[in-house]
Amino acid sequence: MNDILLLKLGEIVLKGLNRKGFEQKLMGNIRRRLVPIGKFKVTCMQSTVYVEALEEGVDLDAAFEAVQKIFGVVKISRAAACEKDKDAIARLAIDYLRQDMLRAKSFKVESKRSDKSFPMTSIQLSQYVGGELAEAYPNCKVDVHEPELIVNLEIRDLAAYVHAQPVNGAGGMPVGSNGVAVTLLSGGIDSPVSTYMIAKRGVRLIPVHFFSFPYTSQQAKEKVIELAKLLTAWCGKMTLEVVPFTHIQEEIRDKCPEEYFTLIMRRFMMRIAERIALSNGARAIVTGENLGQVASQTMEAMASTQAVLKLPVLQPLIGMDKEEIVQMSRRIGTFDTSILPYEDCCTVFTPRHPRTRPTVAEVEKAESTLDVDALVAEALQGIERVTLDLEET
Ligand code: ATP
Ligand code: MG
């Protein structure tokens, strides 16, 4: 019999009537995530998802790693299976939990029976297997109040399962259970983290990147594609929209006062992002903005960029310290790519003395020399789409 994975569902169990829909979404996400790894059976019972390999030689470690990045799962454990017989279960527990039992000072056994025809009650089974474990590992004492290690037994339809401490899952809600948003993805440290955070709340994301070739290089674009690809481990399959931004930036440079360059540029980003959102059923725009981090991230500057929008802007990093963002970016696996030294369109034509406390009227006046609608339409026309999916492992 094969090892299986047990995944405990998170917040979705609180959702009452919606629960079924949430579970379905999550199971779909798990199944898709496992496709590159092998054939698995994925079933759900009582807020636990069971993942079972359907063929020999499937890499369950790879599956374990993959499901750690699926939002909506709070705990994951790997369990070994045996026949539904108390001595077989005790033998398996002694064998399978050897490392845990040698390390821990105290333990207790907890049993669950979904097969009610099993001849012992849960308590009897726990006592029996607990006794056998205590005998096999005399240095690890039974402690039912504050055990260091909890040994879990489950009697299910086809087999009995043994597992120890679960590891934490990704938490959050299943991607796709909470609508769609556009996320502005630069090549920096911040925006991959903001994308991750909104995906964690169950939102499916459409990444948008503004590209100013030749002011920004082909490598800068490749870097953003790589970041989006890394994010698919958390966000699922995504289509990156690469928007040509060169003409807009040149127009701004040639026709607007320098101190407003960045603000006007950001207003264009927002307008274009909103158009992409509306044509894809997305309901918000996500950015990696962080209060006070740069001149365009004061409250006044953000008011002037958001004034062109009807959709809400979600800024999950707004109150974080840079160090916290960096830590998170390391943890989610985007940091090393983010720090590759290619420039972003925000760093070309940067004003020497940017306005930090603009009024909306002032910025509107500064951009009044531009044909905004025509420039937006032209950029939308030139979008290049790159679809990113998980790779075979
Ligand atoms: P990041 O580290 O994410 O680049 P940042 O601190 O450098 O952020 P800005 O460059 O001012 O800040 O950008 C603020 C936000 O605007 C970014 O987090 C991102 O969401 C968006 N953004 C900036 N440049 C681009 C771009 N070229 N394409 C898409 N979005 C962008
Ligand atoms: Mg940036």
The phi and psi torsions of 346 (rounded to 5 degrees) equal -70, -20
User: Looking at the predicted structure, is the pLDDT value of residue 347 above 80?
Assistant: no
Q: Token match 């899952």: residue?
A: 169
Q: Is the model's pLDDT at 136 over the cut of 90?
A: yes
The residue whose CA has the least distance to atom 21 of ligand 1 is: 184
Backbone angles phi, psi at 98, to 5 degrees: -50, -55
How buried is residue 146: exposed, middle or buried, by Cβ count under 10 Å (0-12/13-18/19+)? exposed
Is the pLDDT at 253 greater than 80? The verdict is yes
Task: Please state the atom number of ligand 1 nearest to the C-alpha of residue 288.
Answer: 18
Most confident of 18-32, 54-68, 302-316, 338-352: 302-316
Give the number of whichever ligand sits closest to the CA of residue 190.
Answer: 1
- 374: CB partners within 8 A, 6+ apart: none
Which ligand 1 atom minimizes the distance to the CA of 212?
27
Tell me the C-alpha distance between 297 and 289, whole Å. 6
pLDDT, tens digit (0-9, with 9 covering 90-100), for 185-211: 999 999 999 999 999 999 999 999 999
Name which of 6-15, 218-227, 335-344, 372-381 the model is least confident about: 6-15
In sequence order, the 6+-apart residues with CB closer than 8 A to the CB of 250 are none
Closest CA to 51 of 61, 344, 167, 126: 61
Taking the centre of ligand 2 as the mean of its atom positions, its distance from the CA of residue 187, in whole angstroms, is 6
Ligand nearest to the CA of 191: 1
pTM for the predicted model, two decimal places: 0.91
Q: CB 316: neighbour CB atoms within 10 A?
A: 20
The amino acid present at 285, given as its one-letter code, is: I
Instruction: Give helix 190-200 / helix 322-332 axis angle, nearest 10°.
Output: 70
Residues having CB within 6 Å of any atom of ligand 1: 184-186, 188-191, 208-210, 287-289, 293-294, 296, 344-346
Tell me what the mean pLDDT of segment 142-171 comes to: 92
Cβ atoms of residues 114 and 157 within 8 Å: yes
Residue 13 has pLDDT above 60, yes or no: no
- Ligand nearest, relative to CA of residue 195: 1
Q: What is the dihedral of CA 171, 177, 182, 183, to 10 degrees?
A: 0
* pLDDT surpassing 80 at residue 391: no
Looking at residue 20, what is its pLDDT?
Answer: 80
Q: For residues 100 and 136, give the distance between their C-alpha atoms in angstroms, rounded to a whole number.
A: 13
pLDDT of residue 104: 95
Condensed to tens digits (0 to 9), the pLDDT of residues 96-133 reads 999 999 999 999 999 999 888 999 999 999 999 999 99
Find the mean pLDDT for residues 67-75.
95
Please tell me the predicted confidence (pLDDT) of residue 393.
47
- pLDDT, one tens digit per residue, over 291-330 is 988 888 899 999 999 999 999 999 999 999 999 999 999 9
CB 114 within 8 A of CB 156: yes
Q: How far is CA 73 from the centre of its chain?
A: 11
Residue nearest to atom 30 of ligand 1 (CA): 184
Ligand 1 pocket mutation, candidates 221, 269, 346, criterion most atoms within 8 A of CB: 346
What pLDDT is stored for residue 15 in this prediction? Answer: 55
How many CB atoms lie under 10 A from the CB of residue 373?
9
Q: Please name which of 254, 229, 361, 252 lies closest in space to residue 303, comparing C-alpha atoms.
A: 361
Place 73 in a pLDDT band, splitting at 50, 70 and 90.
very high
What is the per-residue pLDDT across 258-271, written as a single tens digit (0 to 9) for each?
A: 999 999 999 999 99
Give the 3-state secondary structure of residue 81. Answer: strand
Cα(383)–Cα(386) distance, integer angstroms: 10
Which has the closest alpha carbon to 204: 239, 242, 168?
A: 239
pLDDT band at 352 (very low <50, low <70, confident <90, very high): confident
Range 155-178 burial, b when 16+ CB lie within 10 A, else e: bbeebbbbbbebeebbebbbbbbb
How many Å lie between the centroid of ligand 2 and the Cα of residue 183? 13
Is residue 204 within 8 A of residue 236, CB to CB? The reply is yes
Q: How far apart are the first and last CA of the chain?
A: 24
Range with lowest mean pLDDT among 41-50, 166-175, 262-271, 304-313: 41-50
Query: Is pLDDT above 60 for 288?
Result: yes
* Ligand 1 atom 25: residue of nearest CA: 186
Q: Which residue has the tokens 């001149």?
A: 295
CB of 107 closer than 8 Å to CB of 95: no
